[in-house]
Amino acid sequence: MNFKRTLITSALPYANGPLHIGHLAGAYLPSDLYTRFLRLRGEDVLHICGSDEHGVPITLAAEKEGVSPQVIVDRYHELNKNTFEDYGIEFDYYGRTSSATHHKTAQEFFLTLDQKGIFKKKSEQQLFDESANMFLPDRYVKGTCPHCSFDQAYGDQCESCGTSLSPSELIHPISAITGTTPILKETEHWFLPLGEFEPFLTSWMDTHKDWKAHVQGQIQSWITQGLGDRAVTRDLTWGVPVPLENADGKVLYVWFDAPIGYISATMEWAELQGDPSKWKTYWQDKQTRLVHFIGKDNIVFHCIIFPSMLHAHGEYVLADQVPANEFLNLEGRKLSTSKGWAIWLHELKNEIDIDLIRYYIACTLPENKDSDFSWSDFQTRVNNDLADVLGNFAFRTLSFIHRFENGVIPTPQNLSEEDIKTLKSITTQKEAVEQAMEGFRFKEAAGAAMELARIGNRYFSDSEPWKTRKSDPQLCANTLYVSAQVCAALTWLLAPFMPTKMSQLATQCNLGSSEHLSSDLLWTDCTEEIIKPGHELGEGAVLFPKIEDEWIQFQREKLQNSPSE
Ligand SMILES: [Zn+2]
């Protein structure tokens, strides 16, 4: 299949709290790396995200603070949108599911499926809190997981074993509002009969054998367990109202409306472009490649429920890839916001250059298994890879040329085998980065890019230009010419990972405008001769100061002392 364009979606974060490093590692850094890489290649790519402003976690947070849900979502929509910008996560559009466009789009989607006779409507016994006089969907109820016996499982999902649940499955259910034991009471809801989509899902999965093993495995285990009827409505007041008569007090289930948020956000983006129907190109043209970036807790929604909805609707493209990540742990422990075991992005940004965080997390991504963020490992990565190798190489090369060549790239003559081999490594590493990026192996891509810096740094040391400068000036000139090419090439290879730092390095190399990596120069411009002889360099400066032990110690103590809820 030849695709003309790529639509990238990043999981919509709940607007009920700030973002932490786990969010960055799960979906948003990978999606940003991929988007930046495709843009460097000059491809047509659209990156969509937004706030998920419905669902029980939001109403629960509102009740806890004694404010309306709108106050909560306004606060965290703004904070999270700004945090993404601070971390260089570039979305073409960041929407929110409380918008009028979204409500209308979700309701129309529901009505289309209703009119097609897709839903089953049935009455069910559901948990009801008599003292609060309300039904207890999803996270309004806690209890013991029937699969792993974790005693803090929510009514919609067990966060210990990841199993998706319905509230009535919980052993010893307790109301999250009053702490009382709920009773069962009859209520009527609309259900998506997922079992009927099994043949579709199976044959669709057969065409995606290239997906990550853990993603395929989770989907397969869902299908093997048996796909039941899934309620797509809830007895709640906060959410998208069910657009039918006799549905008072009912809203769409948040996991029915949230993924439609990708579509409505694209509509709002198209509106801003002055071409309101342009969203259709990205959602309904078969030559669009749809890629969902998510964490593993969202696999069932993006690989079972949403595709079934899209298939039932009939007018939409389906995901071509869902490169879901596993979880990032913190200092050997599971991240937990309620236990205060997390690093909050909006706080961290004031304490460190965010490109360092981007690089370290890229090297630590939980791509195929859970991984660990540790401050000592962060310090090692920054000090070794960035300061000692990349920064040292760039600074040595550029300052040497400034000092002894007046900042002008010398003309090479009779290049040695080693010179030619080093220049060729630009192509080799560029291809390695490319292949890893295409395969959603971002950790490998970061490694391949950094390998070029290692090659350059070793080459510079082994060539000893400080000696050849006197003994054989042409040999020295050749070394400086080759090193400058490697240095310039690094700005391309590492640009997706460290956009700001590589922009600075590009300025030091005097490569067009400082924003060249997103605009006028492309991936194909990264060759074995980027800088011609006679080219004048810009000002050089140290790019990566080392991280001191005291700073790491401060971060560790801060984490140990962070309050739990
Ligand atoms: Zn469990």
| Tens-level pLDDT at each residue, the chain (565 residues) | 689 999 999 999 999 999 999 999 999 999 999 999 999 999 999 999 999 999 888 998 898 899 999 999 999 999 999 999 999 999 999 999 999 999 999 999 999 999 999 999 999 889 999 998 899 988 899 999 999 999 999 998 898 888 888 888 999 999 998 999 999 999 999 999 999 999 999 999 999 999 999 999 999 999 999 999 999 999 999 999 999 998 999 999 999 999 999 999 999 999 999 999 999 999 999 999 999 999 998 999 999 999 999 999 999 999 999 999 999 999 999 999 888 899 999 999 999 999 999 999 999 999 999 999 999 999 999 999 999 999 999 999 999 999 999 999 999 999 999 999 999 999 999 999 999 999 999 999 999 999 999 999 999 999 999 999 999 999 999 999 999 999 999 999 999 999 999 999 999 999 875 444 445 578 999 999 999 999 999 988 999 999 999 999 999 999 998 877 6
Verify that 264 and 324 share a domain, yes or no.
yes
- 165 C-alpha to ligand 1 centroid (Å): 9
Evaluate whether residue 313 is within a structural domain.
yes
Residues 6+ apart with CB under 8 A from 431: none
Q: Give me ligand 1 centre to Cα 310, in Å.
A: 29
Distance in Å, CA 307 to ligand 1 centroid: 25
- Rounded to the nearest 10 degrees, how much is the dihedral formed by the CA atoms of 113, 117, 119, 124? 150
- Geometric angle at alpha carbon 225, from 221 and 227, rounded to 5°: 105
CA distance 45 to 59: 35
Please check whether residues 87 and 135 belong to one and the same domain: no
Is residue 73 domain-shared with residue 212, that is, in the same domain? no
String of b and e for 272-307 (b: at least 16 CB within 10 Å)? eeeeeeebbbbbeeeebbbbbbbbbbbbbbbbbbbb
Task: Find the 28 Cα to ligand 1 centroid distance in Å.
Answer: 26
pTM: 0.94
Centre of ligand 1 to C-alpha 158, Å, is: 5
Same-domain pairing of 125 and 58: no
Distance 297 CA to ligand 1 centre (A): 13
Structural domain includes residue 552: no
H or E stretch covering 435: helix 417-438
CA 150 to centroid of ligand 1, rounded, Å:
5
162 alpha carbon – ligand 1 mean position (Å): 6
Q: How far is the CA of 138 from the centre of ligand 1 (A)?
A: 15
Which strand ranges, in their side-by-side order, compose the sheet holding 141-144?
Answer: 153-154, 141-144, 171-175
User: Ligand 1 mean position to 156 CA, how many Å?
Assistant: 11
By the CB criterion, residues less than 5 angstroms from ion ligand 1 are 145, 147-148, 150, 158, 160-161
CA–centroid distance, 149 to ligand 1, in Å, is 6
CA 258 to centroid of ligand 1, rounded, Å = 24
What's the gap in Å between 164 CA and the centre of ligand 1?
Answer: 9
Per the document, the length of the chain is: 565
Helix (H, G, I), strand (E, B) or coil at 49: strand
> How many A from CA of 466 to the centre of ligand 1?
63
Q: What is the extent of the structural domain holding 14?
A: 5-109+255-348
Residues 502 and 387 in one domain: yes
Rounded Cα gap, residues 263 and 35, in angstroms? 18
Tokens representing 549 are: 């032990």
* 244 lies in the same domain as 272: no
Question: What's the gap in Å between 155 CA and the centre of ligand 1?
Answer: 11
Residue 508 inside a domain? The answer is yes
Instruction: Return left, alpha or beta for 331; rule: phi > 0 is left, psi -120 to 50 is alpha, else beta.
Output: left
pLDDT given at position 1 = 65
> Could you tell me if 396 and 457 lie in one domain?
yes
Q: Cα(261)–Cα(21) distance, rounded to whole angstroms?
A: 24
Please tell me the distance between residue 184's alpha carbon and the centre of ligand 1 in angstroms. 22
126 and 92, same structural domain? Answer: no
Residue 139 C-alpha to ligand 1 middle, in angstroms? 14
For residue 160, report the distance from its CA to the centre of ligand 1, in Å.
5
What contacts 256, CB < 8 A, 6 or more positions away?
106, 110, 192, 232, 233, 305, 309
Rounded Cα gap, residues 406 and 18, in angstroms: 49
Question: Which domain-ending residue is among 250, 285, 312?
Answer: 250
pLDDT tens digit sequence for 13-27: 999 999 999 999 999
Q: Which of 508, 517, 513 shows the shortest CA–CA distance to 543?
A: 508
Q: Do both 77 and 96 map to the same domain? A: yes
pLDDT at 519: 55
Specify whether 99 is located in the same domain as 31.
Answer: yes
Shared domain check, 223 and 168: yes
Closest alpha carbon to 481 in 534, 406, 403, 425: 534
CA atoms within 13 A on the CB side of 474: 5
Per the rule left: phi > 0, alpha: psi between -120 and 50, beta: everything else, 510 is left
Burial class (CB in 10 A: 0-12, 13-18, 19+), 177: middle
d(CA 306, CA 116): 17
Beta strands in 204-363 (DSSP E): 229-231, 233-235, 250-252, 288-293, 319-321, 328-330
340: CA distance to ligand 1 center in Å?
22
